[in-house]
Chain A
Amino acid sequence: QVQLVQSGAEVKKPGASVKVSCTASGYTFSNYPIHWVRQAPGQGPEWMGFISPSGGYTVSAQELQGRVTMTTDTSTNTVFMGLTSLRSEDTAMYYCAREGRNFDFWGQGTLVTVSS
């Protein structure tokens, strides 16, 4: 069965960086792009960007350009999302999602808390 398993919760100080992983299994990794979506407490989802399965192509939300980096490790079917210069507004649940004809499978989410 298709699974996306994300890394555990993180607590970071303002100005620091975070890297969240998303490991895929149960399907052909090279066939589907992976998107990242975050959701601040009590808010709706915010699309962050996506990466092609080969890792060769990324698109990120304009508001995050310059701070977000997405990479893949095809040897382990893992996608990484890095976010730099963290601020309190980056506190959120971060999800990875596979894109077929829609976001058909999601990771369980990784809570990133930014606090001094």
Chain B
Amino acid sequence: NFKLTQPHSVSESPGKTVTLSCTRSSGSIATSYVQWYQQRPGTSPTTVIYENNQRPSGVPDRFSGSIDISSNSASLTISGLKTEDEADYYCLSYDSSNQGRVFGGGTKLTVL
């Protein structure tokens, strides 16, 4: 079993670029794909990145994902921030030891 750790909150101004991190506690981040979900208040989560760096159709190319083996972490980068990007963001990965899925604790992104 492993945990995914995310910073609790991040703030940035409109038009800027922000990078959200997701650090895996044990085992390599490269072992399983990482997904990123956006959740606005009162709504179900939606995918913004899957398979580390793939964008679903309809997600703007301002959203990008990557992994860094040296820091054992995944990152979600949002460029050209808009106020509509203000939301909670969660990373998710697969735990091959038990076929489970592990969510990070989430990052609250504030755009102001």
Residues of A within 8 A of B (CB): 35, 37, 44-47, 50, 59, 61-62, 95, 101-104, 106-109
User: Apart from A45-B103, A102-B56, A103-B47, what are 18 other A-B pairs with CB-CB below 8 Å?
Assistant: A37-B103, A44-B88, A44-B103, A45-B45, A45-B106, A46-B103, A47-B100, A47-B101, A50-B101, A59-B100, A62-B98, A95-B45, A101-B50, A101-B51, A103-B37, A104-B56, A106-B46, A108-B44
Q: Is the CB of B45 within 8 A of A106?
A: yes
B70 is an interface residue with CB less than 8 A from chain A: no
Taking a contact as CB atoms closer than 8 A, the residue among B44, B51, B54, B101 that contacts A35 in the complex is B101
Chain B residue total in the interface (Cβ 8 A): 23
Q: Is the CB of B47 within 8 A of A104?
A: yes
Q: Can you name the residue of chain B whose Cβ is closest to the Cβ of A99?
A: B101
The interface residues of chain B lying within 8 Å CB-to-CB of A61 are 100
Set A46, A102, A108: member contacting B35, Cβ < 8 A: A102
Q: Which of B44, B100, B104, B106 has the most CB of A within 10 A?
A: B44
Residues in A with CB closer than 8 Å to B99 are: 59
Q: A102-B35, A102-B50, A102-B56 are contacts. A95–B101 as well, Cβ < 8 Å?
A: no
Please encode chain B, from 21 to 59, with 1 for each CB lying within 8 Å of some chain A CB and 0 for all others.
000000000000001010100001111001100101000
Q: List 13 A-B contacts (CB under 8 A).
A: A37-B103, A44-B88, A44-B90, A44-B104, A45-B37, A45-B90, A46-B103, A59-B98, A62-B100, A103-B35, A104-B56, A106-B46, A107-B44
Quote the shortest CB–CB distance from A59 to chain B (angstroms). Answer: 5
Q: A47–B39 Cα gap in the complex (Å)?
A: 15
Residues of chain A lying within 8 A (CB to CB) of residue B111:
none
* Known contacts A44-B105, A104-B56; A109/B100 CB under 8 A: no
